[in-house]
Structure 1
Amino acid sequence: MWYQNDVTKNLGTKYPIIQAGMAGGITTPELVASVSNSGGLGTIGAGYMSVTDLNECIKHVKKQTNLPFGVNFFIPEEPEYSEEQLNQMQKLLKPFKKELNLFNDGPFILKQIDIERQMETVLKEKVPVCSFTFGIPPKEIMKELKKEGIQVIGTATTVEEALINQECGVDLIVAQGSEAGGHRGTFLGTYDESMIGTFSLLPQVVDAVEVPVIAAGGVMDGRGVVAALALGAKGVQMGTAFLTNKESGAKEIHKKAILQAEETSTTLTSAFSGKPARGITNSFIHMMKEYENQILPYPVQNALTKELRREAGNQRNPEFMSLWSGQSPRLSKDVNVHELMDSLVMEVEKGIHNLTGQ
């Protein structure tokens, strides 16, 4: 069977389909558990979660499924910026905040995620799978994960990044193409150099590494899964496809924007977070283009726009929200997770039959 391979064996799932660990509240316990209960691997997006929130989310997932699930982490970064740059960006953001009636001018405090304490929670709760974005996990963390038999998934946007992940000791590698929605996992070189499409990147990574490779970026239905398998992937990771599901925690206005978007609707921007991410073009992205050279590095820019994005969501104003989406929004569906998973499996089997007659 097409779904019995190294990915399903390593992860303990029925199908080699992974729901991406989208940070920011999208990966509700209901979404994660539903994906796992439907045969895939649900993933908690812990990128911005406090240790307390992560612990509660894991416990809620466990109440809804006894099948494997994962947690995705962001590798911490040490940004370099000056007080002058900070003040300048705060000044640039004031008109946007004013439009949303936000007038809180308190002191800026950058709260960094404590990945070591997050890991303690994962180890304590015996989460079966951990994935990492924006780099490779420190050796001490890898050692602890391996010791507990936890499967580790790395993210690569170039062959060189894939090789570094393999050297680090990950069990599986996600080859993330430029079509992917949200943040790109690039951690080497420039972002421009890593803008490689999924189906160009995938076979090159497959040829370069020995561990199983998972395709990500633009995969929305069974046709994408079949294409990924044909190019050597052992599975797929899908984000946008699950974002519009009913169990997703994305704002309804965000889901609606994707469901109504076209293939030309997305763009890459650093304006919201300080790191290139793909989302649906809106007024904030458009107006911030002329200030690209003043955008602060991640996670500083992300912290500066956090309140703005949240309030825009509360006011149902899509023009100031980060509407992350991949390049295939026309293929998105407003359905339950089990309906999406059922259709994926049916489409893959139909596609393989059409190609092979088997």
Structure 2
Amino acid sequence: MKTWPDHRIQKLLGIDLPILLAPMAGPGSAALAIAVAEAGGLGSLPCAMLNAEQIRSEVTLIRQRTKRPINLNFFCHKPPRIDTEQEIKWRKRLEPYYLELGIDPKAPVPVSNRTPFDSTLCDLVVELKPEVVSFHFGLPNKELLARVKATGAKVLSSATTVDEARWLEQNGCDAIIAQGVEAGGHRGLFLSTDISTQVGTMALVPQVVDAVTVPVVAAGGIADARGIAAAFALGAAAVQIGTAYLFCPEANVAPAHREALRNARETSTVLTNIFTGRPARSIINRLIREVGPLSDVAPAFPLAGGALMPLRAKSEAQGSGDFMALWSGQAAHLGRELPAGELTRLLAEEVLAKLSAYE
């Protein structure tokens, strides 16, 4: 086979390859987005941890180095209510680690913030006019979404269930990312908070494909040509890949995180809420073993991360990943340490060769 079995995503987004870079807040970078875009995939810039000026600066850099379509990704969570009692409990739970690392447990801690999509960020989208805008945790309100779509941007969002996929289509999504439970980082769930019923990619994708009419992008546990070919067999029009790109030199990955990825196996990750207050898949480390993986003491998303910042800073300086979120999907062991552009092109070549072998 010399061509792809489904071209809907390429036509919709204006890209050459049905490979989307997952917008990973933290590890994601302009360099990573540029490399994937130049190779023919969709480059993505995670914006949830950036302010407006930082986003503008990153997009300017991207535009200077590629004319290919890019995706700006935003979170759509509700701003949390500060619960002083919960914060005190969380600080108390972490106090032994503060003392162990020689940090004053009563010192003020930074605020962990991930900004939800609002009118200010919408103004920025109108100004920057990205070809694609994607969301996590649902969609923004109708007025903001209408402004985004009026720019001509195609809108994507993540669904972790069939009900979420139907809701996204009904509310204006041009394509849906079906996020299986194998995926690294935050679960995109927004209609339910029950992670015990989350669905794997193999079961989720075909059911979402049957439930909606827009193209479906498979995500979760896809790291090589076999996974991409399987996604097409399930009815997906494209794949979104995250963890495999964490091995690339362009990714902003701390040395301790990179080492954990190199040593990860299929049983090395777990869903945990202790790093941000919301379920996300991370490689198991000391903090998860001793405090999590799921804690009812952790404050609401994203506030749980504030009290962890001093612990991470002190331990990371010592080469330790004990207190950092080691985001990873379940297929990290399949990762290859290649430049992102080379990895994108190689994946495409390997998939087409594999699909040809099936003919």
Global fold match (TM > 0.5): yes
Q: Which residue of 2 aligns with 1:95?
A: 96
SS at match of 2:157: strand
Instruction: Check 1:168–1:77 CA distance in 2 against 1; reply closer, same or farther (3 A cut).
Output: same
2:233 partner letter: A
2:62 partner letter: V
More moved, 256-265 vs 89-98 = 89-98
* Correspondence 1:29-68 to 2 at 5 A: 29-68=30-69
* Correspondence 1:1-358 to 2 at 5 A: 1-2=3-4, 5-24=7-26, 26-80=27-81, 82-103=83-104, 105-106=107-108, 111=113, 113=115, 115-116=117-118, 117-289=120-292, 292-356=295-359
Task: Tell me the CA shift for residue 253 of structure 1.
Answer: 2.1
Instruction: Check 1:199–1:244 CA distance in 2 against 1; reply closer, same or farther (3 A cut).
Output: same
SS at match of 2:195: coil
1:232-251 residue CA offsets vs partner (Å, 9 max, x unmatched): 00000000011110111111
Instruction: Check 1:350–1:326 CA distance in 2 against 1; reply closer, same or farther (3 A cut).
Output: same
Structure 2 CA distance, aligned partners of 1:112 and 1:254? Answer: 21
Q: Is the 8 A contact 1:309 1:322 kept in 2?
A: no
Task: Tell me the CA shift for residue 12 of structure 1.
Answer: 0.8
Q: Is the 8 A contact 1:48 1:113 kept in 2?
A: yes
Structure 2 CA distance, aligned partners of 1:341 and 1:236? Answer: 12
Corresponding residue pairs, total: 355
Structure 1 CA distance, aligned partners of 2:293 and 2:41? Answer: 42
Instruction: Check 1:219–1:246 CA distance in 2 against 1; reply closer, same or farther (3 A cut).
Output: same
Task: Tell me the CA shift for residue 94 of structure 1.
Answer: 2.2
SS at match of 1:293: coil
Structure 1 runs of 4+ aligned residues shifted over 4 Å read 107-112
Structure 2 CA distance, aligned partners of 1:276 and 1:82? Answer: 19
- Structure 2 unaligned spans of 5+: none
Task: Tell me the CA shift for residue 35 of structure 1.
Answer: 0.5
Structure 2 CA distance, aligned partners of 1:276 and 1:344? Answer: 29
Structure 1 CA distance, aligned partners of 2:356 and 2:152? Answer: 37
Q: Is the 8 A contact 2:39 2:342 kept in 1?
A: no
TM-score, normalised to structure 1, is 0.94
TM-score, normalised to structure 2, is 0.94
Structure 2 CA distance, aligned partners of 1:274 and 1:146? Answer: 31
More contact order relative to length (CA 8 Å, sep ≥ 6): 2
Instruction: Check 1:313–1:130 CA distance in 2 against 1; reply closer, same or farther (3 A cut).
Output: farther
SS at match of 1:62: helix
More moved, 90-99 vs 260-269 = 90-99
Structure 2 CA distance, aligned partners of 1:201 and 1:290? Answer: 24
1:272-311 residue CA offsets vs partner (Å, 9 max, x unmatched): 1111111111110011039822122111112332343344
More moved, 189-198 vs 261-270 = 189-198
Task: Tell me the CA shift for residue 131 of structure 1.
Answer: 0.5
Q: Is the 8 A contact 1:54 1:118 kept in 2?
A: no
More moved, 45-54 vs 105-114 = 105-114
1:283 partner letter: R
Task: Tell me the CA shift for residue 110 of structure 1.
Answer: 6.4
Task: Tell me the CA shift for residue 42 of structure 1.
Answer: 0.9
Structure 2 CA distance, aligned partners of 1:239 and 1:175? Answer: 14
Tell me the percent identity.
37
Q: Is the 8 A contact 2:125 2:148 kept in 1?
A: no
Instruction: Check 1:311–1:182 CA distance in 2 against 1; reply closer, same or farther (3 A cut).
Output: farther
Q: CA RMSD in A?
A: 1.8
More moved, 214-223 vs 116-125 = 116-125
More moved, 187-196 vs 13-22 = 187-196
Structure 1 CA distance, aligned partners of 2:303 and 2:315? Answer: 19
Structure 1 CA distance, aligned partners of 2:17 and 2:109? Answer: 48
Structure 1 CA distance, aligned partners of 2:282 and 2:159? Answer: 20
1:298-330 residue CA offsets vs partner (Å, 9 max, x unmatched): 111123323433443333211111101000111
2:24 partner letter: M
Instruction: Check 1:12–1:124 CA distance in 2 against 1; reply closer, same or farther (3 A cut).
Output: same
Q: Is the 8 A contact 1:21 1:43 kept in 2?
A: yes
Instruction: Check 1:111–1:268 CA distance in 2 against 1; reply closer, same or farther (3 A cut).
Output: closer
Task: Tell me the CA shift for residue 193 of structure 1.
Answer: 4.6
Task: Tell me the CA shift for residue 101 of structure 1.
Answer: 3.6
